[in-house]
Amino acid sequence: MQILHASKSDVGMKRDNNEDNFLVFAEQNLFAAFDGMGGHAAGEVASAIAASEVKEFFDFTGKDEEATWPFKGEREKTYDENRAVTAIKLANARIIEQSEQDGKKKNMGTTAVMVHFVERTGAGPRALVAHVGDSRVYLFRKGQLQRITIDHSLVEEYLRMGKITEEEAKNFPQKNIILRALGQQKQVEVEINVYQPQPGDIFLLCSDGLSGMITDEAMQGIMQKQGKDLDAAAKKLIDTANANGGADNVTVILAQYQPG
């Protein structure tokens, strides 16, 4: 398989520094974005640790499938699913370690969103989508954009429970409260789902600096117009987020699946 990709991160219009980090590990067909949080610029430390740990773990296990893991895999998950989940759990452990060693970094954390493309003999191509927090993955297929992750956030939980409507969610006062992040608890629950990519599918990973500034419909319009040029699409998405106020750091990764 071949994965075409483009990535871009921007500080936005209101922040002094960029606490987002992202990982493009093309050799492993691995793409991830991390949106850091915490005072004293600790957010960018947490997201950088996450990016580094995930890359290191994939590099290490990519060279030796029999390598010992720091966490036990789950029986009902495949090797590749467990590998993705373990990488994120390891990032969580490292962030907690660092925050315990440095009082200024106490409670620092980060979201995590990852897409890993794999192809096993006889199994066909798979896109593994793992996430913790409110960074998102969208799938752009045949001109239509669909969100394929559910935010681990208070507003999403209230929507799921029917406590608020979609319309009320737009102006929900606690919009920024997330229910899961790396660096907050020693045990972190990583959500993972498996997709069968079709030729030309584009997976869009982003921090909430994008999804909080642009509607899904506007994102779809940009992808319809620019989708053939991934670099132009990534730039246009970020420029639009900034034009709409750019209230947060914004990170975009586009990864397009091509067979063969």
pLDDT band at residue 52 under the 50/70/90 scheme: very high
226 contacts 236 by C-beta, under 8 angstroms: yes
Residues 6+ positions from 234 with CB-CB distance below 8 Å: 6, 7, 8, 252, 253, 254
pLDDT at position 117 over 80: yes
pLDDT at position 253 over 80: yes
Alpha carbon distance 48, 153 (integer Å): 22
Q: What do you get for the CA distance between the two ends of the chain, in Å?
A: 5
Number of other CB atoms surrounding residue 101 within 10 Å: 8
Parse the chain into domains and list their residue ranges: 2-258
The number of residues making up the chain comes to 260
pLDDT band at residue 172 under the 50/70/90 scheme: confident
Segment 151-160 shows an average pLDDT of 89
Greater pLDDT, 237 or 176: 237
pLDDT at position 118 over 80: yes
pLDDT, residue 227, reads 86
- Identity (one letter) of the amino acid at 25? F
Segment 78-84 shows an average pLDDT of 96
pLDDT band at residue 49 under the 50/70/90 scheme: very high
Vertex 106: Cα angle to 133 and 211 (nearest 5): 25
Residues 6+ positions from 109 with CB-CB distance below 8 Å: 36, 37, 38, 43, 46, 95, 181, 182, 183, 184
Alpha carbon distance 197, 70 (integer Å): 30
Write out pLDDT tens, residues 186-236.
999 999 999 999 999 999 999 999 999 999 999 999 999 998 999 999 999
CATH level 2 (architecture), domain 2-258: 4-Layer Sandwich (3.60)
115 contacts 203 by C-beta, under 8 angstroms: yes
132 contacts 150 by C-beta, under 8 angstroms: no
Segment 35-51 shows an average pLDDT of 91
Segment 158-171 shows an average pLDDT of 86
pLDDT, residue 156, reads 86
pLDDT band at residue 99 under the 50/70/90 scheme: very high
pLDDT band at residue 136 under the 50/70/90 scheme: very high
19 contacts 36 by C-beta, under 8 angstroms: yes
